[in-house]
C-alpha cells in the first residue's frame, strides 16, 4: 500500500504512545512518599491497569450508563487503596493520584516520531481516554495532536465498531483513508474489521519485564514498525 492512500493517522495512546506502567509506578512512589504510606507500586500500577477492561466492559455491555475513563479509574483506585491496605487518604489526594493518568510520560521516540509524521498527516487520538485526560496528557508530554477523538466523542469504548467509524467520520474521511497506529494486535484487528488501515508498533516493555502479549505483530498489518521514528521512516 502506498502511503498516499492514507489521509490521516489515529493512535491508540496508552502503551502505544505513552509508558503508563513506569509513569504510574513513579506517581505511586511519589504519592506514598508524600503521605507516608508504602506499597509495591509496580504491582499497584499493574492492578490498576488490570481493572481497565473490566470497568469499561460494564459500560460496553450496558450494565451501567456511560461513564468517562477518569471516573472509572477513580472507582478502581478507591477499591485498590483498600485492597493494598492504604487507608485514611483524603479526597483531594485521591483526586490528585487519579490524575496521574493525565501525566503519563511518552516513550522516548513518540514525540519526535509524531512530530515528523505530522508534517504529512493529520494526527488524532483513537483512545479510550476521555478528552480532558488526553488534552492534559498532550500538554504535559508535548504530544502534537490535531484532534482528540475516541471513546468520549464516540460515546463508546473500543473495540466497539462505532469508536473507529466515528473517529474516521469526525476527521472527514472514509475508514479506509484512516490508519490506526497501535501496539496491540486486538485493537488493530478490530479497526481492520471496520475498514481502517493498520500499523503495529512494538512496545515489548509496556507491561514490564515479564510481558507475554503483543511482543510482535501477529497478523498481516499494513505496516509493522519498531518505533514511532521507524514508522515515520516508512511513511515519509
Q: Before 149, cis peptide (omega within 30)?
A: no
pLDDT at 87: 93
CATH numbers and ranges of domains, the chain: 3-19+106-235 (3.40.50.1000), 20-103 (1.10.150.240)
* Residue 119 cell numbers, joined: 508534517
8-24: burial string, b at 16+ Cβ within 10 Å, e else: bbbbbbbbbbbbbbbbb
The pLDDT tens digits along the chain (236 residues) read: 444 589 999 999 999 999 999 999 999 999 999 999 999 999 999 999 999 999 999 999 999 999 999 999 999 999 999 999 999 999 999 999 999 999 999 999 999 999 999 999 999 999 999 999 999 999 999 999 999 999 999 999 999 999 999 999 999 999 999 999 999 999 999 999 999 999 999 999 999 998 999 999 999 999 999 999 999 999 99
pLDDT at 2: 46
Q: How far apart are CA 56 and CA 50, in angstroms?
A: 11
Model's pTM, two decimal places?
A: 0.94
Q: Which residues contact 53 (CB under 8 A, 6 or more apart)?
A: none
Amino acid at each position: 500500500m502506498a502511503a498516499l492512500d492514507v489521509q490521516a493517522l489515529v493512535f491508540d495512546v496508552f502503551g502505544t504512545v505513552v509508558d503508563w506502567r513506569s509513569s504510574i509506578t513513579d506517581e505511586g512512589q511519589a504519592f506514598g512518599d508524600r503521605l507516608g504510606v508504602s506499597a509495591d507500586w509496580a504491582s499497584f500500577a499493574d492492578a490498576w491497569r488490570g481493572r481497565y477492561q473490566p470497568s469499561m466492559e460494564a459500560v460496553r455491555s450496558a450494565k451501567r450508563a456511560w461513564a468517562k475513563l477518569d471516573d472509572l479509574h477513580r472507582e478502581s483506585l478507591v477499591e485498590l487503596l483498600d485492597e493494598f491496605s492504604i487507608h485514611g487518604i483524603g479526597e483531594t489526594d485521591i483526586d490528585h493520584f487519579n490524575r496521574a493518568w493525565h501525566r503519563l510520560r511518552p516513550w522516548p521516540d513518540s514525540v519526535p516520531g509524531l512530530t515528523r509524521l505530522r508534517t504529512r498527516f493529520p494526527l488524532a487520538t483513537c483512545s479510550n481516554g476521555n478528552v480532558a485526560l488526553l488534552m492534559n496528557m498532550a500538554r504535559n508530554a508535548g504530544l502534537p495532536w490535531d484532534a482528540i477523538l475516541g471513546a468520549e466523542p464516540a460515546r463508546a469504548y473500543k473495540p466497539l465498531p462505532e469508536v473507529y467509524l466515528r473517529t474516521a467520520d469526525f476527521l472527514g474521511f472514509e475508514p479506509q483513508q484512516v490508519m490506526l497506529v497501535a501496539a496491540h494486535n486486538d485493537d488493530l484487528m478490530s479497526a481492520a474489521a471496520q475498514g481502517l488501515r493498520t500499523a503495529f508498533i512494538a512496545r515489548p516493555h509496556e507491561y514490564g519485564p515479564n510481558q507475554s502479549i503483543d511482543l510482535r505483530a501477529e497478523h498481516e498489518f499494513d505496516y509493522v514498525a519498531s518505533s514511532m521514528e521507524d514508522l515515520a521512516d516508512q511513511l515519509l
